[in-house]
Chains A and B, each alone.
Chain A
Amino acid sequence: MTAYLLRRTGQAIVVVIGVMVLTFALIHLAPGSAARATLGTKATAERIAVFNAANGLNRPLAAQFATFVKQAAEGNFGTSYSLHEPVSTLIAQRLPRDAVLLGLSTLLALLVALPMGVYQAVRRGRAGDHMLTVLSFVLYSMPDFFFGLLLVALFSVQLHLLPSQAPQAQSVGGVLADPKALVLPVVTLALVSLASFSRYMRSSAIGVLAQDHVLVARAKGLPEHLVLRRHVLRNALLPVITVLGLAAPAIVTGAVIAESVFNYPGMGLLFYQAATSKDYPILLASTLVVGVATVLGSLLADIAYTLLDPRIRYDRG
């Protein structure tokens, strides 16, 4: 197992380096310069040169990259061009808020999706399965923003039940203190992931249900609910864990939209604003944060897999 995890970690490190190179290259090879974006299109060549020198943009790319890596390792991502604050401070403020939003919504999605997938697998081909299948397809096929706005139109504008804005508090505690305002963003994000999670669970459970050991369990005289709980659920969960690890980018995408719709001051909104104002330090840093989170997510998923699957736990190495 150690050997496998070591190799897996090695791969993760390579990918993180890849992410750094990719984002850095992407931003610095772009034609629209940061200086013009920050200073406006009427800026003189002189002012641009001063800006570039001040921000080290006139040095060779390789040197800039080296500086970027070195400073990133120290947690220093420079200062935002537009907000004039250290990027690390901005991220440190917002990351916990994202943890709350994304954590709650993913948890909610899983709590509904896993039983739903198993139910569909058991009732495969019957009315209940078909109905839930149609539901998940419609959910999956709806643009996230439209979905969020529909919920707002219904629950805030029409029924006046829930606020249309997410909590604006700075601290995690403040966010949690306003649970009513959290409902819509969390539900929007959860329903978006619900569709794909439940589809995975369904097909995984169908696969497990067809296996011999399930028949053996039934031949023992085990009632069906115990067959499902003891012999199907855990086996069916294993492949879903891997999928969960890979779901991080999709969840982040959802966050960008949901934060724009509900005006939730998280990383997604920060990133979106930075993209429109060409705020390189923020773009670079948040892309890196997301990339590392994704890599960590799939690494953690693989580790969880090895812990849950006795075949890997004992076999590898």
Chain B
Amino acid sequence: MTAADPGPVAAGPPVPGRPAEAGPLTAPAARRPWAAALAGNRRALAGLVLIALIALFCFAGPLLYRTDQVTVHLDLAQLPPGGGHPLGTDANGYDVLGRLMAGGRSSLELGLAVAVATTVFGTLYGAFAGYLGGIADALMMRAVDTFLAVPGLVLLLIMVSMFTPTLPGIVLLLSLLSWLSPARLVRGEVLTLRTREFVQAARMMGGTGPRVVLRHLVPNAAGVVIVSATFTVADSILMLSTLSFLGLGLPPPHADWGTMLTGGLDFLYDGSWWLVYPPAVILIATVVAFNLLGDALHDALDVRLQRT
């Protein structure tokens, strides 16, 4: 350590200070909270790997394993696994393995679309409600409470019974039901963040409301938001399968796992196991994977989350 160099005083800009006085900077072990949260968390990793494998199967699979999922071949119906059909064929003569790929694509796309739509809208809604506070917040949250008071399935049943279901329509409907949870979570998060000193510091600099919300509150609520989005994917896929079971899903020729499973259930007792268990296993595996990932992230980020 060297002594200060006593020299003439100049009014110029100060020269770099001495790092030693403030102590060494910590090693960048935890540079990115996200990466750190994921690495070393076996649950999250398992979820991610499973999701990646399933996505690969659904999106890359059809490139290697081409099947006809459009034309009905009644002469090929209900074939057990073997020959050209590793997982057999269904009542319409569709190859089950190929149909799992096609069905998975629409299930995953639907889940992701709903998650993105609800996350964006719910986050902004919740962030502004929490930031505005007072009467605006009260009104906005009563609206959320109202939707929450009616079970999603009930609303879905009413609406599906009125409109003929289409994929965009179902995405819209599921989104209408799923934005509530991120909105509530983000609002709760914002209410606690709002009192944090860095938000006050931003106000001290003259920062305006939208700036505070978008620059400080939303990024800091990102943990809750991502966790809730992950759960939304899982819930949407499940909800779609439930609709199929109730006979209100997407009409054929459309394929998704829920429809396949429901169709297969008719043959549950006559030995056509390949129509029931493959779609069930992959559906459950996907939902488990997203739930695992979400739960692990939730623990890792210590997010206070209420799944409602």
Contacts and interface: CB of A to CB of B under 8 A. Distances in A.
Contact of B157 (A32, A142, A149, A275): A275
B145 A18 contact: yes
Interface residues of B, number: 46
Interface string B297-308: 001000000111
B143 A145 contact: no
Secondary structure of the A contact surface, majority rule: helix
Contacts of B146: 15, 18-19, 21-22, 291
Contacts of B142: 11, 14-15, 18
Most B C-beta atoms less than 10 A away, residue of A141, A256, A291: A141
Interface of B: 43, 142-143, 145-155, 157-163, 234, 238, 241-242, 245-247, 258, 261-262, 265, 268-269, 280, 283-284, 287-288, 291-292, 295, 299, 306-308
A138 B288 contact: yes
B234 to A, nearest CB: 7
A70 to B, nearest CB: 21
Given A14-B142, A141-B234, A278-B161, A146 B149 contact: no
A283 interface: yes
A256 B153 contact: yes
A275 B158 contact: yes
A23 interface: yes
22 contacts: A11-B145, A18-B145, A19-B149, A23-B158, A26-B159, A27-B158, A137-B291, A137-B295, A140-B291, A143-B258, A145-B262, A146-B280, A199-B295, A242-B306, A246-B306, A253-B154, A256-B246, A257-B242, A272-B246, A276-B247, A278-B161, A294-B151
A163 interface: no
Nearest to B298: A203
Interface string A108-142: 00000000000000000000000001000110111
Nearest to A247: B308
Nearest to A30: B162
A295 B149 contact: yes
Interface of A: 11, 14-16, 18-19, 21-23, 26-27, 30-32, 133, 137-138, 140-146, 149, 153, 157, 196, 199, 203, 242-243, 246, 248-250, 252-253, 256-257, 260, 271-272, 275-276, 278, 283, 286-287, 290-292, 294-295
